[in-house]
Amino acid sequence: MKILVCIKQVIDPETLVNLDERGRVVLPEGDLKYWMNRADEFAIEEAVLIKEAGFGTTVDALTVGPKHAAQVLERAMGMGADNGVHILLQEKDFLSPLNIASYIAAYALNKGYDLILTGVMGEDHMQGQVGPMLAELLGFPCATSVIFEKISDERGAVYVEREIEGGFKSALELDLPAVLTVQTGINKPRYPTLSNLLRAKKQKALVVESHILGATEDRERVVRACYPGKSRAGLMLEGSGKDKAVRLLEILEKEALI
């Protein structure tokens, strides 16, 4: 069995960004903190668990991004993925989910993957669109928000349970090959081992230039970004604990809350 896990590098959400006069995001200068999208760690772990269960499984981890995105491939191989694939992009302000899905589909086509896993959504844009779009481009069945899966090698299918609205679950069986978007909590992601990290640094990921693959034409673009409007104001109380208590009491009395 061949499994492809699509992972993403995201920026630390605590990073302070600015907007220029045209409404474009301006990142601060200097070293920025990046890491693997949290939901994608669960997808990697699920693939490695399938590999450990047998089926003669090979796990490839793939990311689409600029040069520094290679960091997440090292972590994925450190967790147990066999190979890394880096679809290398030039720096770009915005890449739509359809663009990303089309790059992955162009690479994965005719590679013989039986199962493609992604995290349920990215921490940055929280759209959850790449997995379903990838499935559509490849003509594979797709299940989203998967909280349990079991491969049936005899039937060439995968049984899955999904999390749906209202706290309910739905169960279905998909013929392989298929695409699953994995929900957080499906497993407990392991820490990379030192031996696997050393192997990853020595092995290196396969680098594929994005222009070789081509991408579906943009159907969306970011027109402008803006700061959210203030819906409420905060007040920081200073001084000793006693001073703060007195000031709080004054505020509550003024607002007729007590």
- The 10 Å CB-count burial string (b at 16+, else e) for 191-209 is ebeeebeeebeeeebeebe
Summarised one tens digit per residue, pLDDT across range 239-255 is 898 999 999 998 888 88
Show the tokens assigned to 125.
């844009």
- Predicted confidence (pLDDT) at residue 217 exceeds the cutoff of 90: no
Contact 159, 150 (CB under 8 A): yes
**CB half-sphere exposure, 177, CA atoms < 13 A:** 20
Summarised one tens digit per residue, pLDDT across range 109-119 is 999 999 999 99
> What is the rounded radius of gyration, in angstroms, for the C-alpha atoms of the chain?
22
Q: How far is CA 111 from CA 1, 52, 80, 86, 179, in A?
A: 12, 22, 20, 15, 14
- Predicted confidence (pLDDT) at residue 19 exceeds the cutoff of 90: no
Contacts 24+ apart (CB under 8 A), 123-129: 123/10, 123/13, 123/37, 123/38, 123/39, 124/10, 124/11, 124/13, 124/37, 127/97, 128/181, 129/97, 129/98, 129/101
Q: What is the pLDDT of residue 78?
A: 95
- Predicted confidence (pLDDT) at residue 232 exceeds the cutoff of 90: no
Contact 212, 12 (CB under 8 A): no
Q: How far is CA 183 from CA 46, 86, 138, 204, 248, in A?
A: 10, 24, 22, 28, 43
Summarised one tens digit per residue, pLDDT across range 134-172 is 999 999 999 999 999 999 988 899 999 999 988 899 999
Q: Using DSSP bridges, classify how beta strands 115-119 and 178-182 pair: parallel, antiparallel or unpaired.
A: parallel
User: Who has greater pLDDT, 212 or 75?
Assistant: 75
Phi-psi region of 105 (alpha: psi -120 to 50; beta: other; left: phi over 0): alpha
Q: How far is CA 13 from CA 33, 48, 97, 153, in A?
A: 9, 27, 20, 40
Summarised one tens digit per residue, pLDDT across range 173-197 is 999 999 999 999 999 999 999 999 9
Contact 130, 100 (CB under 8 A): yes
User: Who has greater pLDDT, 156 or 231?
Assistant: 156
User: In the chain, what are the domains?
Assistant: 2-213 (3.40.50.620)
Q: Which amino acid is at 67?
A: K
Residue 9 sits at φ, ψ, to 5 deg, of -95, 130
Summarised one tens digit per residue, pLDDT across range 26-84 is 766 667 788 999 999 999 999 999 999 988 899 999 999 999 899 999 999 999 999 99
Contact 93, 225 (CB under 8 A): no
Q: How far is CA 131 from CA 64, 89, 116, 143, in A?
A: 13, 19, 9, 9
* Whether pTM exceeds 0.85: no
DSSP E strands: which ranges in 100-139? 115-119
Q: What is the pLDDT of residue 37?
A: 94
